[in-house]
Amino acid sequence: MPKKFIDRYVKRYVPDHKTIRDHKHLRFFGTLLHHPNLWHLNRRSVPGAVSVGLFAAFIPGPVQMLLAAIGAIAFRVNLPLAIALTFITNPFTVPPIAYFSYKIGAWILRAPEREFKIEMSLSWLTDQLHTIGGPFLLGTLVLSVTSAALGNLLMRGIWQLHILRYLKKRKQRVIQKT
């Protein structure tokens, strides 16, 4: 994994884990924030963080970062990466993702598709929940689970390729020295 690249940018923008652990508003977590996988990048914590972050990213509503943090702590995966991945959904990407979620849910349920215009408000969501709610929520769940699984597999594959490339280069250096 391009750990040096990620470490460089994570360390630049994310506070030190000791600072977060000792923060007066976060002390109520106790020892939950002390697990090393929450703060280190390794072959277990990164794919897990990608899964947790992508799953939480596609859940509708304003609780995505909280869900990612709870999931990262529960599964002991990289906390900053899981939270950062929730920003995949933002004001520019939410309308197409919501529409795609609805289309997936309507296709699975074989429900007739309804015309609607997506608005970025909680009142619109509650008003439309009775007409498009079932297909939308099912599509969101399918999209969350699928993206989490595919993200995990992709990250594991990238990690393995990186390890294999590293071992090949190391073997070549050893051969050149002899």
Given a contact cutoff of 8 angstroms between Cβ atoms, the answer to whether 68 and 82 are in contact is yes
Output b/e per residue, 56-85; b: 16+ Cβ within 10 A: bbbbbeeebbebbbebbbebbbbbbbbbbb
Q: pLDDT tens digit string along 71-113?
A: 999 999 998 899 999 999 988 988 889 889 988 998 998 888 7
pLDDT at 149: 97
Domain ranges of the chain: 3-177
Backbone angles phi, psi at 51, to 5 degrees: -60, -50
Q: pLDDT tens digit string along 113-135?
A: 777 676 667 777 677 777 777 88
What six digits make up the tokens of 96?
Answer: 């197409």
The model carries a pTM of 0.78
pLDDT at 6: 62
